[in-house]
A and B are shown apart, each in its own frame.
With several copies, the nearest count.
Chain A
Amino acid sequence: MTQTFTPNEMMTITAARALRNEDVCFVGIGAPSAACNLARLTHAPLITLIYESGTIGTRPNVLPLSIGDGELCDTALTTVSVPEMFRYWLQGGRITVGFLGGAQIDRFANLNTTVVGDYHHPKVRLPGGGGAPEIATNCGEIFITMAMGKRAFVEKLPFITSMGHGVTGAERRALGVKSKGPTRLITDLCVFEPDAQTKEMTIVSIHPGVTREQIAENCAWAPAYAANVIETPPPTKLELEVLRDIQARTKAAHAA
């Protein structure tokens, strides 16, 4: 049985596997949303999904294009105002997993989604932080999902939009932040976890068919590897089916 799949599918499926029934997950749009809903539709049917638009316990049948599509509200347990969402729910410390993506990341999983170049005279103006700065510190832990590439996995960020483990790996503790920060970085090629001591994001699993050379070519720094690196289990038939199914439904719905 040969099951073919894209790197992107591998990334989304691996991210989904990290989620548990008991998680309360603050979901970003794009790959995080796909992963969270895939988890909900496969091994974690009881997971609570929260979108920053205020929808709590939402169960969309189609992936939303925006963070506030009507589908999210229609299928939610309830919908609260945005100030309440950020005050009582995110800052309230009720979220177990925050799911982030970004334009650029460094070895300590700090993220940039603000600017490339100087802030006041930017080369590229990116959308900005949105919920990310406070998601990064107020959730129990952070999962990040991003496709690798030398312009995305950079040596030094031009701007820190949200803190991972800080510029030296010691900043969370130094700033009195009690949450764990990024515990998993799931890419299209491999999975990183922070080293217990240094907090540098360290490769713990490589996706089937991917080589260390490929990873090196798509990362601006020389990434650390764990002592025991395993091969990521390939997508199961069910995982692929469910993911492709929801993506097909989504595409049809948004094109309408």
Chain B
Amino acid sequence: MAKFMEMAAAIEEHVHDGDSVAMEGFTHLIPFAAGHEVIRQAKKRLTLIRMTPDLIYDQMIGMGCAEKIVFSWGGNPGVGSTHRLRDAVENGWPNKLEIEEHSHAAMANAYEAGAANLPFAVLRGYIGVDLPKVNPKIKSVTCPYTGEVLATVPALRPDVGIIHALRADREGNVLLEGIVGCQKEAVLASKRTIVTVEEVVETFGPRSPNAIILPSWTIGAIVVVPGGSHPSYAQGYYKRDNSFYIAWDKISRERDTFLAWMKENVLEKDTTIFAEHAKKLGLA
């Protein structure tokens, strides 16, 4: 059964130094508030798993939380580079960063296989490209019926899965909607889970019979954080802060400006600032 917790306690209980952590959300519902708490608690040597590292892992990498990253597209979407990720890979700052790189299709299949309790995923992919030459985890199987050789990747089974969702009900069931990425799979594939939500409601009320709901008993901790995915967004609550994504390019380009921003906006703040962001970007 999911336990309603405060952010600091949830991260303390579920995220340990050296863990593999998947903080998912495909552009939508990225769990920034949880990421900031991981930074404040100065977690170390994490293996950070995410299809798109996005700003959340750029920040965590720049603050020295990560020793390895598993990813499939590492840029600032529509803007350019994730400079802290680049600085770590190109120059080893603030520490050397090991990378395990996949395609989107392979990562998505690897989460899917993890959720399905399979040891590996099969895909028609990685054909004629160089990634298998530099990532020894990409292997193959032969179809027992047709003889076709298909690519495989190991299932993802993170120690901790963290997502942001729209709302929980009093029983701790959690509802997602909109661009749902591979969040459900990330939760179901992980050993421990934290879900941050915009709000708690008495019941979900009238809804599609096929609404995407994670039952309470699939979740470890629920943390209520209005605005918890800013500068990403929460469908029906507030918009993506595209201007911040654009601004991040300048903030993150140099180590000094990055560190100053993190000090002022993360280290010296707490989870409550997210509600303020959300208010500014709230839907009419």
A residues apposed to B, CB below 8 Å: 22, 24, 29-30, 48, 52-57, 64-70, 72-74, 76-83, 85-88, 90-94, 114, 119-120, 122-134, 136-138, 159-163, 166, 171-172, 175-177, 253-256
Contacts and interface: CB of A to CB of B under 8 A. Distances in A.
B123 A254 contact: no
Nearest to B116: A87
B51 A82 contact: yes
Given A86-B104, A91-B117, 19 more contacts: A53-B181, A56-B215, A65-B77, A65-B240, A66-B78, A66-B242, A68-B27, A68-B28, A79-B209, A82-B108, A83-B111, A86-B123, A87-B116, A123-B90, A128-B72, A131-B104, A133-B126, A138-B125, A160-B129
A167 B116 CA distance: 29
A159 B131 CA distance: 8
Most B C-beta atoms less than 10 A away, residue of A24, A85, A125: A125
Contacts of A176: 148
Contacts of A124: 86, 90
Contacts of B209: 73-74, 76, 78-79
B78 A87 contact: no
A127 B117 contact: no
A24 B212 CA distance: 19
B188 interface: yes
B42 interface: no
11 contacts: A73-B28, A77-B213, A80-B210, A82-B182, A83-B112, A94-B218, A125-B86, A130-B72, A134-B125, A161-B129, A162-B129
Contacts of B126: 133-134
The 3 closest A-B pairs by CB, nearest first: A68-B27, A127-B75, A163-B128
B130 A159 contact: yes
A217 B225 CA distance: 54
Interface stretch (B3-11, B172-180, B255-263): B172-180
A190 B39 CA distance: 48
A128 B71 contact: yes
A160 B185 contact: no
A255 B242 CA distance: 7
B105 interface: yes
B109 to A, nearest CB: 7
Contact of B125 (A73, A91, A127): A91
Interface of B: 1, 26-28, 51-52, 71-75, 77-79, 81-82, 85-86, 89-90, 101, 103-105, 108-109, 111-112, 115-118, 123-131, 134, 148, 173, 178-182, 184-185, 188, 209-213, 215, 217-218, 233, 235, 239-240, 242-243, 245-246
A157 to B, nearest CB: 9
Nearest to A21: B1
Contacts of B79: 65
A160 B131 CA distance: 8
Contacts of B89: 122, 125
B210 A65 contact: no
B182 A81 contact: yes
B129 A163 contact: yes
A31 to B, nearest CB: 12
A72 B233 CA distance: 13
B163 to A, nearest CB: 13
Contact of A81 (B104, B105, B184): B184
A30 to B, nearest CB: 7
Nearest to A69: B240
Contact of A138 (B108, B124, B128): B124
B102 to A, nearest CB: 8
A150 B245 CA distance: 29
Contacts of B173: 57, 77
B222 to A, nearest CB: 15
Given A129-B73, A131-B105, A133-B103, A70 B235 contact: yes
A21 B127 CA distance: 30
